[in-house]
């Protein structure tokens, strides 16, 4: 299965089983992203781990506030549409376009995650491999 098929399959999975990922309010000057649960599944051959997927829709100029993810969370991000500007830890800011991907190691800081366009929407699929007990997948970084 190629990555486009995998992304499409995850997005199509029935939502409603995920209550652990709540969207964070964006900064007052930027439109907020919307986060839609796509999948939450215990990984049967890795005790204590789950696979969690969410779709993040960014309106034009939309952004997520700076945040960290659960210390157990390995995250794979795939840009489904548009372009996303992202920074992980103290790494460089980068612009990723539809079809490109990135990852975040467990406990990484994500100081920048936003739509790279002020005029077109963008969509990101975020897939977490996380401890099943972790309920707060995203925590804002205080200013």
| Residue 123: Cβ-neighbour burial (10 angstroms; 0-12, 13-18, 19+) | buried
Please choose, from the candidates 82, 85, 31, the residue with its C-alpha nearest in 3D space to the C-alpha of residue 59: 31
Please tell me the predicted confidence (pLDDT) of residue 83.
Answer: 98
What residue numbers bound the domain in which 119 lies?
3-140
CATH number of residue 119's parent domain: 2.60.120.10
How confident is residue 137, by pLDDT bands cut at 50, 70 and 90? confident
How confident is residue 23, by pLDDT bands cut at 50, 70 and 90? very low
Q: Strands, E, within 20-93: which ranges?
A: 34-42, 49-58, 63-64, 67-69, 74-81, 83-87
Both structure tokens of 80: 């489904």
Average pLDDT over residues 103-124: 95
Q: How many independent structural domains does the chain possess?
A: 1
The whole-angstrom separation of Cα 115 and Cα 113 is 7
How confident is residue 143, by pLDDT bands cut at 50, 70 and 90? low
pLDDT tens digits along 39-74:
999 999 999 999 999 999 999 999 999 999 999 999
Q: Which of 3-7, 41-45, 99-103, 120-124 has the lowest mean pLDDT?
A: 3-7
Sheet holding 109-110, edge to edge: 109-110, 67-69, 138-140
Residue 25 has pLDDT above 50, yes or no: no
Strand 94-97 vs strand 112-115: parallel, antiparallel, or unpaired? unpaired
């Amino acid at each position: 299965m190629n990555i486009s098929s995998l992304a499409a399959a995850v997005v199509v999975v029935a939502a409603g089983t995920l209550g652990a990922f709540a969207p964070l309010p964006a900064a007052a000057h930027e439109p907020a992203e919307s986060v839609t649960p796509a999948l939450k599944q215990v990984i049967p051959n890795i005790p204590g781990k789950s696979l969690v997927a969410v779709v993040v829709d960014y309106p034009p100029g939309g952004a997520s506030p700076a945040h960290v993810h659960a210390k157990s969370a390995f995250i794979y991000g795939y840009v489904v549409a548009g372009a996303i500007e992202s920074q992980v830890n103290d790494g460089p800011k980068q612009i990723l376009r539809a079809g490109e991907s990135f990852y975040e190691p467990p406990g990484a800081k994500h100081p920048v995650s936003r739509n790279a366009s002020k005029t077109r929407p963008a969509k990101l699929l975020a897939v977490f491999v996380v401890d099943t007990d972790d309920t707060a997948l995203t925590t804002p970084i205080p200013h």
